[in-house]
């Protein structure tokens, strides 16, 4: 059995490296927050997708997430705040120009998000709380909404 090498101009999409660029976990009301009864959590969540071209074939894509957990029963007292910028270096070679934006906005974050979610979940447990499991994010819908919004702005 012989291996066939792909043609030189075959499209290449690969995650080269994943890493944490910035990370913070704050538990500002400890230890009192652990004594509260009947906590009703409320989450303030913010996601930003960042990307930058490193060289001809490599891009850095990162998810910058801030999650603030508050207790509704205690006048929105902060339970914890987690902030992370989780990134990856991606190889995009011979990808048609019209597809690059979509790959960066959908495929790259889809590869990063499960790992980002796990880091935040484990950190919330290590911080003394229940696991904080972020809901899955529909990056396709986010991309399509951004495209629609951009077209609407261009029409005006």
Tell whether 7 is covered by a domain.
no
Tell whether 36 is covered by a domain.
yes
Whole-angstrom Cα distance, residue 71 to residue 80?
A: 10
Cα–Cα nearest to 67, from 140, 125, 124, 109: 124
Q: Which DSSP state fits 38? A: S
Q: Which DSSP state fits 136? A: P
Q: pLDDT (tens digit, 9 = 90+) per residue, 18-42?
A: 999 999 999 999 999 998 888 888 9
Which pLDDT score is estimated for 2? Answer: 57
Tell whether 5 is covered by a domain.
no
26 Cβ contact list (under 8 Å, min separation 6): 78, 80, 81, 82
Cα–Cα nearest to 49, from 82, 87, 14: 87
Cα pseudo-dihedral 51, 11, 147, 84, rounded to 10: -30
Q: How many domains does the chain have?
A: 1
Mean pLDDT of 144-148: 91
Tell whether 105 is covered by a domain.
yes
Q: At what angle do helices 139-155 and 108-126 cross, to 10 degrees?
A: 120
Which pLDDT score is estimated for 75? Answer: 87
* Backbone angles phi and psi of 36, in degrees to 5: -65, 140
Tell whether 6 is covered by a domain.
no
Q: Is the peptide bond before 31 cis (omega within 30 degrees of 0)?
A: yes
Tell whether 2 is covered by a domain.
no
The CATH number assigned to the domain holding 72 equals 3.10.420.10
Q: pLDDT (tens digit, 9 = 90+) per residue, 55-93?
A: 999 999 999 999 999 999 888 899 999 999 999 999 999
Burial of 151 (0-12, 13-18, 19+ CB in 10 A): exposed
Tell whether 66 is covered by a domain.
yes
The pTM of the full predicted model, rounded to 2 decimals, is 0.87
What domain range is 41 assigned to?
12-155
Tell whether 65 is covered by a domain.
yes
């Amino acid at each position: 059995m012989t291996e066939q090498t792909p043609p030189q101009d075959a499209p290449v999409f690969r995650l080269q490296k994943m890493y944490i660029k910035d990370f913070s976990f704050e538990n500002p009301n400890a230890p009192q927050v652990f004594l509260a009864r009947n906590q009703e959590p409320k989450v303030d969540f913010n996601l930003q997708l960042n990307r930058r071209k490193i060289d001809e074939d490599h891009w850095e894509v990162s998810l910058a997430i801030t999650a603030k957990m508050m207790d509704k029963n205690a006048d929105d007292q902060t339970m914890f705040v987690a902030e992370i910028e989780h990134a990856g270096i991606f190889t995009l070679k011979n990808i048609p120009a019209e597809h690059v934006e979509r790959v960066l906005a959908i495929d790259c974050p889809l590869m990063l998000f499960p790992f980002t979610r796990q880091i935040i979940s484990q950190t919330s447990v290590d911080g003394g709380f229940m696991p904080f499991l972020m809901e899955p994010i529909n990056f396709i819908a986010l991309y399509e909404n951004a495209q629609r919004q951009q077209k609407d702005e261009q029409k005006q």
